[in-house]
Structure 1
Amino acid sequence: MSKVEEAVEVNVPVRTAYNQWTQFETFPQFMDGVEHIEQRTETLTHWVTKVGGAKREFDAEITEQVPDERVAWTTVDGEVRQAGVVTFRRLDDSTTKVMLQMEFAPEGFVDTVGDKLGFAKRQITGDLRRFKEYIEARGGETGAWRGTV
């Protein structure tokens, strides 16, 4: 398994950052390579991705969700094996640190080489930067799910 950890500070309150992150179907607007996400239940999402020309589909199960603190997941079906957690830390009334930690198993030669070259780390760094731009430009979340898992 490979591991990636990245963080970004966003200039919105922790509640706003967390609420937006729970809107999984908006991820294609700031995550490169994510074509579509369908929220099937409160804890199950279906993903369609296309990275490096390879299209993949998989399901991810939310394993832990604590409002304004964390969202953890693991894949349960499909070609992709990964698990991760996103944590939200209030820095002050208008600034939040968003930290993503992810473990994944590269599939095949191309994924393994890409992982060794730091592709996943660059991808996650870019996705977090785009999340920052997205939420700061909006100034507010597009919705919220405040349940606990």
Structure 2
Amino acid sequence: MASLHKSIEIDALAQVAYHQWLQYEEFSEFMDNVQEVRRIDDTHLHWRGVIAGKPIEWVTEVVEHVPGRRIVWRNSEAADTHGVIMFEPLNMGRTRMTLDIEYQPESLEEKIGDVLGIVEANLEDDLQNFKEFVESRGRYTGGPDPNSVSPA
């Protein structure tokens, strides 16, 4: 079992970062290996992407959701793959976003990528890209005003 723990500080309010993260359909705009994320229902997401040059698809389930603070998920098809993303408000309108993931590399390519640190580097890139995505907008994209409707 492999695990990763990464944090990044974002120059945006926690509410903005959190609500942008909920715009799952936009993940392909800042995650290099993700081609599409589609909402199946209130707790399930269908992902399409490329890992080690191979197209893959998977489904994740949100198993715990603390609005504005934390989202816990698991891969519905690989019980060993799960994670949590947390949003911690800091002073001066900043947010610390922390991502913890546990996963089991299965294929030879995934195992090699894990040993070489490719998975960790991709995660760091995705978080940096998310930071830039949020900071360049100043507010979250899409969806209703977070003060008027609970997120899905």
TM-score bracket relative to the smaller structure:
over 0.9
SS of 1:106's equivalent in the other structure is coil
CA-CA distance at 1:137 after TM superposition: 0.3
Aligned to 1:98: 97
Aligned to 2:84: 85
- Kept in 2, the 8 Å contact 1:65–1:147? The answer is no
Runs of 4+ in 1 over 3 A off after TM superposition: 144-148
Most deviating of 127-136 and 108-117: 108-117
Aligned to 1:24: 24
What are the Cα deviations for residues 76-115 of structure 1, in whole angstroms up to 9, with x where unaligned?
A: 13x7951000000011241000000001111121111110
Give the TM-score taking structure 2 as reference length: 0.91
Counterparts of 1:48 and 1:81, CA distance in 2: 19
- Kept in 2, the 8 Å contact 1:86–1:99? The answer is yes
SS of 2:12's equivalent in the other structure is coil
Q: 1:146 aligns with which of 140, 144, 150?
A: 150
Question: Per the alignment, do residues 15 and 25 of structure 1 end up closer, same or farther by CA in structure 2, a change over 3 Å counting?
Answer: same
Aligned to 1:112: 111
Aligned to 1:45: 45
Write the letter of the residue equivalent to 1:35. Q
SS of 2:96's equivalent in the other structure is strand
Which ranges in structure 2 are unaligned for 5 or more consecutive residues? none
Write the letter of the residue equivalent to 1:89. E
CA-CA distance at 1:147 after TM superposition: 4.5
Give the TM-score taking structure 1 as reference length: 0.93
- Kept in 1, the 8 Å contact 2:44–2:62? The answer is yes
Counterparts of 1:7 and 1:46, CA distance in 2: 25
Q: CA RMSD in A?
A: 1.7
Most deviating of 92-101 and 138-147: 138-147
